[in-house]
């Protein structure tokens, strides 16, 4: 039995509660990565939601790497960037669309990165999940988060937080709130309202992750179109995608975490996740900024009232 210098054996590591990436996801991810790399060579049109001399907040399209955002922004601003040092204050997955903050000077970068690290930035996301209609309209889920021995991000029990993982890292706390906005294209879209700021109401289902949950065989699962808004309270890698997987509501197109890329006769080259809003204090002027990105087309299809 293998053991590390610290004396930890393979049987001492915490057990992940979500499955590993399915084999077919490798081919899909490779195809998407090649497509994104091909697009990264040339600047693309980038929608700027907010900009001043210190920062720019942009609406990143899906299928684009974060570093491509820097290149495109630099090209669109032109010569005015000559005295700037562009830096990404936050990152989004390649296929996630929505708001990203780019700082123009080191002073702003240091302060804003700290705001993201300290979780003082409020964020909301929109996600289109395919799965059985949940027995809740609003939910609050807490779990552990970390890399398994093969490097994949997985959900762990809350009781495993701070335990050592195979690569030497530790399980970290992960917390997300969800609310259902529409089911099978029926519902009423509304503006974000972070219902956890005033405490958890009785109508918010509390889900504390300690055990694996079976959602049945993949081919036999009922799939409804469930449009949700997510309020991440922590900032873990793939957090919303992982929690959706654990809840049995994988995001459409998210092949890594149980989502299907073919739906209603169409094939999707991205997962349906959108960074909808950011609220934070400006790193220099200290003005409160509450910014939103326009909803993508798939949100409008699911919620006609948008």
State the chain's mean pLDDT as an integer.
89
Residue 13 domain-assigned (yes or no): no
Residue 142's closest CA among 196, 75, 93, 91? Answer: 196
Q: For residues 267 and 228, give the distance between their C-alpha atoms in angstroms, rounded to a whole number.
A: 21
> What's residue 189's pLDDT?
86
Provide CB contacts within 8 A for 217, sequence distance 6+: none
- Token couple for 151: 């490097």
Residue 297, SS3 per DSSP? helix
pLDDT at residue 72 in the model: 84
Tell whether 223 is covered by a domain: yes
Q: What is the pLDDT of residue 80?
A: 53
* 131 in a structural domain: yes
Residue 14 lies in a domain: no
Mean pLDDT across 84-89: 90
Stretch 256-279: mean pLDDT, rounded? 94
The predicted structure's pLDDT at residue 4: 46
> Which CATH number goes with the domain that contains 105?
3.30.2350.10
- Does position 79 have pLDDT exceeding 60, yes or no? no
Q: Name the residue range of residue 183's domain.
A: 22-302
Kindly state whether residue 16 falls inside one of the protein's structural domains: no
Is pLDDT of 249 > 70? yes
Higher pLDDT, 298 or 187: 298
The verdict on residue 3 lying in a domain is no
pLDDT at 228: 98
* Secondary structure E strands in 153-254: 153-156, 172-183, 186-187, 204-208, 224-232
Residue range 182-205: average pLDDT?
79
Query: Is 239 contained in some domain?
Result: yes
Catalytic residues: 93
pLDDT at residue number 40:
74
Within a domain: residue 246?
A: yes
Q: What pLDDT shows up at residue 77?
A: 66
Domain count along the chain: 1
Select the more confidently predicted residue: 228 or 219: 228
């Amino acid at each position: 039995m293998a053991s590390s210098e610290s004396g930890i054996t393979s049987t001492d590591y915490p057990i992940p509660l979500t499955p590993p990436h399915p084999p077919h996801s490798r081919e899909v991810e490779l195809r998407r990565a090649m497509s994104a790399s091909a697009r990264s060579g040339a600047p693309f049109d980038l929608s700027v939601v907010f900009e001043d001399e210190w920062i720019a907040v942009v609406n990143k399209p899906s299928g684009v790497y974060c570093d491509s955002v820097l290149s495109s922004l630099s090209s669109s601003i032109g010569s005015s960037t000559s005295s700037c040092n562009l830096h990404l204050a936050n990152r989004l997955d390649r296929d996630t669309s929505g708001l990203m903050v780019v700082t123009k000077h080191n002073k702003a970068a240091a302060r804003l990165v700290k705001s993201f690290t300290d979780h003082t930035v409020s964020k909301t996301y929109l996600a289109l999940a395919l799965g059985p209609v949940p027995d809740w309209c609003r939910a609050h889920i807490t779990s552990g988060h970390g890399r398994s021995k093969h490097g994949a991000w997985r959900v762990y029990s809350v009781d495993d937080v701070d335990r050592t993982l195979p690569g030497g890292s530790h399980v970290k706390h992960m917390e997300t709130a969800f609310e259902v906005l529409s089911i099978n294209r029926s519902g009423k879209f509304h503006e974000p309202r972070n219902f956890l700021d005033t405490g958890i109401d009785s109508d918010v289902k509390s889900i504390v992750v300690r055990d694996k949950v079976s959602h049945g065989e993949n081919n036999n699962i009922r799939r409804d179109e469930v449009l949700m808004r997510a309020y991440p309270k922590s900032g873990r890698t793939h957090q919303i995608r992982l929690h959706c997987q654990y809840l049995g509501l994988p995001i459409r197109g998210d092949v890594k975490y149980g989502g299907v890329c073919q739906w209603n006769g169409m094939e999707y080259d991205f997962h349906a996740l959108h960074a909808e809003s950011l609220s934070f204090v400006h790193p220099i002027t200290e003005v409160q900024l509450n910014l939103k990105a326009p909803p993508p087309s798939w949100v409008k299809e699911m919620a006609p009232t948008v």
